[in-house]
Each structure stands twice: as structure tokens, then as C-alpha cells.
Amino acid sequence: MEELVVGPGATIREGMEALNRSGLEVALVCEEDGRLVGVITDGDIRRALLRGDTMEAPISKAANTKFTAVGPEVKRSEAVQIMFRSGFKCLPVVDEAGKLVDLHTLWVAMLSQESPSWAVVMAGGKGTRLGELTRAIPKPMIPVGDRPILERIIQLLVSHGIRRVFLSVNYMSDMIEDYFGDGERFYCKISYLRESEPLGTAGPLRMLPGKPSHPIVVMNGDLLTSINLGRFLAFHASGEFAATMALRRHVMNIPFGVARVEGPRVKSIAEKPELTYDINAGIYAISPAALDLIPPEGPYPMTGLMQACLDRDLGVGAYPMHESWHDIGLPEQLEQAQRDDP
């Protein structure tokens, strides 16, 4: 990291030399005590020169002092998501005193963090409940903020080390394939499971090019979530489950008094009770052996696969997820996701 750092008294030329040494397209301006006071990129230098500054001008003329940094407690997967979201290739790590202690880089993160698991994203639905919104665009391509829902899912997968991604496509599939291509610009390899007819949420898994060697992650293509997939897969493996469902706690408020009745008598009354359920979050881990339970043809839902495992006394894990989660099924749910977008 020393190659990246220059002092506040350095010149723009010396900043450029640091950029060349690092190969990371960024240099860091630090005080003598290690406090990070500025970040400089090729773009910052170009703008300074266009303003009329010379190569011998102080680096402070070009440095960005309103940079983004994170604390040491931020995990690498979280840092990768911040870099994806912001378009950064690097993210400085500073302590409470503002001193530089580390640097997350997108390239190193992609190399050092790789999961053997595949992921399958179900992106073939029509999204009819969203009405006019999905007449001209498939639901997974609806933007939330500045990116389509499906791009956010892929970035979530990649940020947790998953590099092999399959997209199950049907409705307006050309739009999805044209946008994502082979996945190279998203730091993964993307292949397509092309449904000639709707196959449900588990049917497309029979089109995988071979049986995976590790559990796979399956996600609905209309989710916005920050689930920690590393913890999810670790939970699945620790229980030796055939399949695992991510579950969300959902509370329903009954706005009336509810009577408990036995025969002709009221035995008790609960005033405006709450009913609590664990709902299916549309995120699954599936062990390779469980894929053999999928019928050879026709539509098949993921809940059918879960039930097939239960019928054979194969373990089905219940993973309690507490991270953010939005299911984009209705216009009001999309509006809420837009409001909650960081």
C-alpha cells in the first residue's frame, strides 16, 4: 500500500507517478501521522490540468477530499457491494482517527474470494401483477435507482464470491441476454437456461449443463436483498440439509377483536392480536443430490422440491434471514423499494 501513498506536499506529477506504480488507478494523500486527507484518480488529475494547474502544482489542487471510506469492521463482501454500487475500484479503510489502515480493491476481492457454488436466478416470469410496467420490459430489468433489479442480484452473488451464474429466461429474454452477455463486465460467467415454456421456479434446474459438485444458490429474479450468502451456505452445510429455505419473519396485525369459540360459548377474546409467520423469501440452497428429485419434464415449483425432500425425510433447513429484503411483485412494493434504496 506504500506505493499508493503520497504526502500532502507532493506535486501532481508525483501523484501521477504513484498512480502508475500502483496500477490501481488511484493514489492516496496522507498526512505524516497516517490520516487520509484525499484520494486522487486519473480523472482528478485531468480535471486539474484542464483548469490550468501545472504538473508541479501541489497535489491538493487535484485531490478529492470528499472521498468515501469505510471502517475496519466492514466485511469484504460488504465493501464489494459498496464499490459496485458506487462504481469504485478501490475503497480505503480508516480507523476512528481517520488513519489509513487498509484498502479494499475490487480486483483483489474478485481474485481472493471465490465460492465453488453456482447460482441460478429465475428471471423468466412476465410480472403481470406490475401491470403496464412489464409490457415493454421484463420484471427483472425494472430499474431500482440506477440499476436493474437483476443487476443488483448478480452483484450480490459476485460480492459473495459466486462466479458461475445461470439465468433462467423466457419472457423478453433477448433484452436480458443483450444486457448481461457472458457476464465478463460483471466479474462472473453467465449462461442462460432458456425456457420454451414456463417451467416454474424449480423446473429450469433440470437444464443445468451437469450436476454441480457443491450446493447451488437459487433466487427469484424479483428480489432486492442484502442477505449474507456466505452465512446462508455455511448454515446449509452445517446442517447437512438436502435443501434450505431463507425465511423472513412476517407479522400480520388483525384490526379486530378475535374470539376463541368452543361450541356455543365464547371462551376468550384477544383484542387486535398479531399473527406471526415465517414466510418463504424466495432464496434457496439446494444440494446436488436433491436435484434428482425434480421430474424430467413439465413445470415444477420450488415448493414442490421442498415437499419432495420432506416426503423422503431429507433435511430441509430453515434459515432465519434478518437482512433487508424486498419482493418486487406489486407496484406498491416497487415504490417501497425505490424509497428504501440507499
Q: Dihedrals φ, ψ of 313, to 5°? A: 60, 30
- Cα separation, 291 vs 282, whole angstroms: 17
- Contact criterion met (CB below 8 Å) for 268 and 258: no
pLDDT of the residue at 170: 92
- Contact criterion met (CB below 8 Å) for 233 and 134: no
pLDDT of the residue at 109: 64
Domains along the sequence of the chain with CATH: 2-110 (3.10.580.10), 114-340 (3.90.550.10)
Cα–Cα nearest to 27, from 46, 9, 3, 53: 3
Q: Which DSSP state fits 89?
A: S
Amino acid at 252: M
Q: Which residues of 234-269 are buried (b: 16+ CB within 10 A; e: fewer)?
A: ebbbeeebbbbbbbbeeeeeeeeeeeeeeeeeeeee
Per-residue pLDDT in tens (0 to 9) along the chain, 342 residues: 777 899 988 999 998 888 887 667 788 999 999 999 999 988 889 899 999 999 999 998 899 999 999 998 887 777 887 887 777 878 899 999 999 988 888 766 665 568 899 999 999 887 676 666 777 888 899 888 878 999 999 989 998 889 999 999 998 899 999 999 999 988 899 999 999 998 999 999 999 999 999 999 999 998 989 898 988 999 999 999 999 999 998 889 999 999 999 999 999 999 999 989 999 999 999 999 999 999 999 999 999 999 999 999 999 999 999 888 888 866 677 777 666 665
- Cα separation, 76 vs 97, whole angstroms: 21
Cα–Cα nearest to 173, from 219, 124, 229: 124
pLDDT of the residue at 337: 67
244, 248, 252, 253: CA torsion to nearest 10: 150
pLDDT of the residue at 235: 94
- Contact criterion met (CB below 8 Å) for 65 and 37: yes
Q: Is the pTM of this model over 0.85?
A: no
The position carrying cell 437459487 is 218
